[in-house]
Structure 1
């Protein structure tokens, strides 16, 4: 299915692949025929953030077609309640890239999207020219791996039993923590949802994609045997202001596993954002760095 809508700068076409819970909605900015081997289609995405979070960054790439998409269970796609794995997201991405019929693409995946980008590159290396994985929040290989994985499993369990407010409060505390988790992390009092401006009542909804993705997203083990042959086609990006938060540490560990240097990007975990979500980054600086990485 295809529908068109104009923007102030570049015409945007919205398309879908699949149906039912397999339906994936994506947006194509510009003309796919304008893609070249030197400047292929750029696919940028997060997880669970949907395409709406990438408008400011996409608007800063007018030299090539840009595709953004809503990951499974988010945005304009049907909601669900079953867990979703990076491998499943990777196959969804593969379906989108195949439908483009534009050859290998460049990827910029952030957060859970970075994990899914690495899973795609391992499963379908022919799909990609270059992969920029921005702060993949995997716990694998970190010294506090077991504590982190237990904390991520606890998030999912809390969501299942108590709903979004208590689970999101624990999530915020986890992702804001700087440095390795202490061994007694789960023994500490649970954070108050109200302290984060979150609801304390359970509305009964269990379709929140963040908790459907975990803990599988945080347990992705990067395989050097599958990704190593891609060489400098894989770029591991970490924000210069991210400190030792989980996603930044995860990115650095992925780089060590693959024998790569970390590529510094401006700002923090949401460095590509404007003011849309109350977490202002540096979209101009982020876009300039991404341009340089993709064009090198």
Structure 2
């Protein structure tokens, strides 16, 4: 089953029905070991690493990432792993959830059930313009001040907290922010600089998802109630007709409560 020609980055654990896991952030599978170990008791878990970040920092400049490219490569990966006529389940969280939804909309032929946990597809929201402006502000703060300041602004935006910018570091004022940024292509740099804006701006094919709603589950963390990710997912479930399921923890529930999260995911599948 694992003799295909896909030349990207992935890891395989366990046995049973194939489950493709698409991580959030910049696609680095860090922190997923606990959940994957639990899931591998029931599934052949294929953890997709779209940029190969688990093998070390990327060398050279990184371009803005595209949802369609990640999902096309995931489709390619499944074709290389699955025997003819067989399908796989898919789980994606956060930015990986957006990829999972795009994969279902455009390549449903190899898929069983798809579970998307808190995909930040904010374009469906009535206040989408305000939320896109918040994401743009996060990106601008990242460019000017680096990861820590941008992550603080993003956290406030996701949780619906008020946020007041602090004074810019003197180094950022002097050099336009270059010294404030980590330029080593770390996962957070790639996420804030090249994934967050294009992925949250990606327009889902809701018509396609409606036609595939019997295979779709939208999930949100119980600790995310009242926050932007929960609101987005609840509306997505309503618009697509997919199931809605609550998971343990918040936006990072798969990292915070790996065993309980994996058990809830197994039930959803």
Whether TM-score is above 0.5 comes out as: yes
TM-score (norm 1): 0.75
Distance 1:50 1:133 in 2: 17
Deviation at 1:284, TM superposition (A): 2.5
Question: What are the Cα deviations for residues 85-133 of structure 1, in whole angstroms up to 9, with x where unaligned?
Answer: 2112111211221221343211110111101100111111112111000
TM-aligned CA deviation for residue 222 of structure 1: 2.5
Distance 2:141 2:52 in 1: 20
Q: Determine if contact 1:47/1:71 at 8 Å carries over to the other structure.
A: no
2:137 is aligned with 1:154: yes
**Paired position in structure 1 for 2:75:** 94
User: Can you list the C-alpha shifts for 1:16-64, whole angstroms capped at 9, x where unaligned?
Assistant: 944xxxxx31101135xxx4xxxx2011122225222221111112122
- Aligned pair in 2 of structure 1 residues 219, 112: CA closer, same or farther (>3 Å)? same
Question: 1:203-243 CA deviation, whole Å, 9 max, x = no partner?
Answer: 45173221211212112333232111212210001111212
Q: Which residue of 1 aligns with 2:64?
A: 83
Distance in 1 between the 2:182 and 2:5 partners?
A: 29
Write out per-residue CA displacement over residues 175-222 of structure 1, whole angstroms, 9 at most, x where no aligned residue: 2326xxxxxx7xx6325799xxxx995145173221211212112333
Which residues in structure 2 correspond to 1:186-265 (within 5 Å)? 189-191=164-166, 202-203=180-181, 205=183, 207=185, 208-211=189-192, 212-265=194-247
Match of 1:50 among 7, 21, 28: 28
Question: Scaled by the length of structure 2, what TM-score is found?
Answer: 0.82
Q: Which has the higher helix share?
A: 2
Give the deviation of 1:145 after TM superposition. Answer: 0.8
2:11 alignment counterpart: 27
Query: What does residue 95 of structure 2 align with?
Result: 112
In 1: Cα distance, 2:48 partner to 2:242 partner: 28
Contact 2:145/2:181 (CA < 8 Å) preserved in 1? no
Pairing partner for 1:175 from 153, 158, 165: 158
CA distance in structure 2 between the aligned counterparts of 1:203 and 1:226, rounded to whole angstroms = 39
Structure 1 unaligned blocks of 5 or more: 1-12, 19-23, 179-184, 274-280
CA RMSD of aligned residues (A): 2.8
In structure 2, the CA distance between the partners of 1:191 and 1:249, relative to structure 1 (3 Å rule), is: farther
Q: Which residue of 2 aligns with 1:268?
A: 250
- Answer 1 or 2: higher relative contact order, Cα 8 Å, separation at least 6: 2
Using the alignment, how far apart are the partners of 2:238 and 2:122 within structure 1?
Answer: 13
Instruction: Count matched residues.
Output: 250
After superposition, give the CA deviation of every residue in 1:258-283 in whole Å (9 maximum; x if it has no partner): 1234212222212222xxxxxxx322
> Aligned partners of 1:84 and 1:65: how far apart in 2?
28
What residue ranges of structure 2 are gaps of 5+ in the alignment?
170-176
